Chain A
Amino acid sequence: MMLTFVAMKTETAQPPHNNGIKAELSSIESAVLTDYKYGFVTDIEADSAPKGLNEDIVRFISAKKNEPEWMLEWRLKAYRHWLKMEEPKWANIKYPPINYQDIIYYSAPKQKINPKNLDEIDPELRRTFEKLGISLDEQKRLSGVAVDAVIDSVSIGTSFKEQLAELGIIFCSMSEAVQEHPELIKKYLSSVVPITDNYFAALNSAVFSDGSFCYIPKGVRCPMELSTYFRINAENTGQFERTLIVAEEGSYVSYLEGCTAPMRDENQLHAAVVELITMDNAEIKYSTVQNWYPGDKEGKGGIYNFVTKRGICKGYNSKISWTQVETGSSITWKYPSVILKGDNSVGEFYSVAVTNNHQQADTGTKMQHLGKNTKSRIVSKGISAGVSNNSYRGLVHVGKNARNARNFSQCDSLLLGDRCGAHTFPYIEVKNKSAIVEHEATTSKIGEDQIFYCNQRGIDTETAVALIVNGFAKEVMNQLPMEFAVEAQKLLAISLEGSVG
Chain B
Amino acid sequence: MLKIQNLHANVEGKQILKGINLEIKAGEVHAIMGPNGSGKSTLASVLAGRKEYEVTEGTVEFLGRDLLDLDPEERAGEGLFLAFQYPVEIPGLSTTNFIKTAVNEIRKYRGQESLDAVAFLKMMKEKMALMNIDQSLLSRPLNEGFSGGEKKRNEIFQMAMLQPKLAILDETDSGLDIDAIRIVANGVNKLHTKENAVLVVTHYQRLLDYIIPDFVHVLYNGRIVKSGTKELALELEEKGYDFIKNEIDVEEQV
Could you tell me which A residues sit within 8 Å of B by CB distance?
A: 447-450, 452-461, 463, 467-468, 470-475
Contact = CB atoms under 8 A, between A and B. Distances in A.
A452 B49 CA distance: 9
B66 interface: no
Contact of B51 (A448, A450, A468, A473): A448
Given A458-B73, A458-B76, 15 more contacts: A449-B88, A450-B88, A452-B48, A452-B50, A452-B72, A454-B98, A455-B76, A456-B76, A456-B81, A458-B105, A459-B73, A459-B105, A467-B97, A471-B91, A474-B92
B72 A456 contact: yes
B106 A458 contact: yes
A457 B102 contact: yes
B162 interface: yes
A471 B162 contact: no
A456 B73 CA distance: 6
Nearest to A459: B105
A453 B99 CA distance: 12
A478 B104 CA distance: 24
A500 B120 CA distance: 29
A471 B50 contact: no
B60 interface: no
B113 to A, nearest CB: 15
The CB with the most chain B CB atoms within 10 A, among A454, A463, A472, A475, is that of A454
A473 B51 CA distance: 28
Contacts of A475: 92
A457 B94 CA distance: 15
A411 B225 CA distance: 53
B101 A467 contact: yes
Nearest to B93: A471
A467 B93 contact: yes
Nearest to A449: B88
B48 A471 contact: no
A413 to B, nearest CB: 13
A455 B49 contact: yes
Interface string B74-111: 01110001101001101111100111011001100100
B195 interface: no
Contacts of B81: 456
A467 B97 CA distance: 9
Nearest to B108: A458
B221 interface: no
B141 interface: yes
B90 A468 contact: yes
B202 interface: no
Interface in B37-55: 48-52
Nearest to A447: B88
B105 A463 contact: yes
A162 to B, nearest CB: 36
27 contacts: A448-B51, A448-B52, A450-B88, A450-B90, A452-B51, A453-B88, A453-B90, A454-B98, A455-B49, A455-B71, A455-B72, A456-B75, A457-B76, A457-B98, A457-B102, A457-B106, A458-B73, A458-B77, A458-B105, A460-B71, A460-B73, A460-B105, A461-B73, A468-B93, A470-B92, A471-B93, A471-B141
B158 interface: yes
Nearest to A475: B92
Would you list the 5 A-B pairs with minimal beta carbon distance, nearest first?
A471-B92, A471-B93, A458-B76, A455-B72, A457-B102
Interface string B194-216: 00000000000000000000000
B101 A463 contact: yes
Contacts of A468: 90, 93
Given A452-B51, A471-B141, A459 B92 contact: no
Contacts of A449: 88
Contacts of A452: 48, 50-51, 72
B92 A457 contact: no
Interface string B145-177: 000000000000010001000000000000000
A446 to B, nearest CB: 10
Nearest to B99: A457
A130 B51 CA distance: 44
B93 A457 contact: no
Contact of B102 (A458, A470, A474): A458
Contact of B158 (A457, A460, A461, A473): A457
The CB with the most chain B CB atoms within 10 A, among A447, A454, A458, A468, is that of A458
A258 to B, nearest CB: 24
Nearest to B52: A448
Given A447-B88, A448-B51, A449-B88, A459 B93 contact: no
Given A463-B105, A467-B93, A471-B93, A456 B82 contact: yes
Contacts of A447: 88
A399 to B, nearest CB: 35
A472 B91 CA distance: 6
Nearest to B168: A456
Given A452-B50, A457-B158, A457-B162, A467 B105 contact: no
Nearest to B104: A458
Interface string B209-234: 00000000000000000000000000
A472 B93 CA distance: 8
A468 B90 CA distance: 6
Contacts of B106: 457-458
B92 A472 contact: yes
Contacts of B101: 459, 463, 467
B92 A473 contact: yes
Interface in B112-147: 141-142
A455 B45 CA distance: 12
B166 to A, nearest CB: 13
Contacts of A448: 51-52
Nearest to A461: B73
Contacts of B162: 457-458
B211 to A, nearest CB: 21
Contact of A458 (B93, B109, B141): B109
